[in-house]
Amino acid sequence: NAGVTQTPKFRVLKTGQSMTLLCAQDMNHEYMYWYRQDPGMGLRLIHYSVGEGTTAKGEVPDGYNVSRLKKQNFLLGLESAAPSQTSVYFCASSFRWALRLRANVLTFGAGSRLTVL
């Protein structure tokens, strides 16, 4: 099982450029998430999705957009990158919350390191 796969693993952007991070999971998880990790800040939720065509904002959604057109994929877009978006981005997925035995046990991807100059 590949689990959660993120592409690309590394990317350098110039301020104002756009890009999309792709997350793919093969575990048939209903829920998917995008977090960012910054030094001393822990993991902060950007956006999440509870199913195809459904997305919701997290703690730090500004400057990002997401789409979940297929159950297995969750895309994170930066329309106009800013240096403040330099970070490591983690995608995660989980079974739907109603399945209590596995409630909210997240499986994470390996991370994508983004640098905005």
Partner 1 sequence: AQKVTQAQTEISVVEKEDVTLDCVYETRDTTYYLFWYKQPPSGELVFLIRRNSFDEQNEISGRYSWNFQKSTSSFNFTITASQVVDSAVYFCALSEGLRSGNTPLVFGKGTRLSVIA
If one counts every other C-beta atom within 10 angstroms of the C-beta of residue 70, the result is 11
Nearer to partner 1, 13 or 91 (CB): 91
CA angle 37, 40, 20 (to 5 degrees): 20
Among 5, 65, 86, 107, binds partner 1 (CB under 8 A): 107
CA angle 96, 93, 23 (to 5 degrees): 140
- Indicate the length of the chain as a whole number: 117
Q: Does 104 sit near partner 1 (CB under 8 A)?
A: yes
Q: Does 86 sit near partner 1 (CB under 8 A)?
A: no
One character per residue 6-45, x = contact with partner 1 (rule: CB under 8 A):
---------------------------x-x----xxxxxx
Give the number of C-alpha atoms closer than 13 A to the C-alpha of residue 57, restricted to the C-beta side.
Answer: 6
Can you read off the two tokens belonging to residue 78? 């930066």
Nearer to partner 1, 8 or 16 (CB): 8
List of residues contacting partner 1 (CB under 8 A): 33, 35, 40-45, 48, 50, 58-59, 88, 90, 92, 96-98, 100, 103-108, 110-111
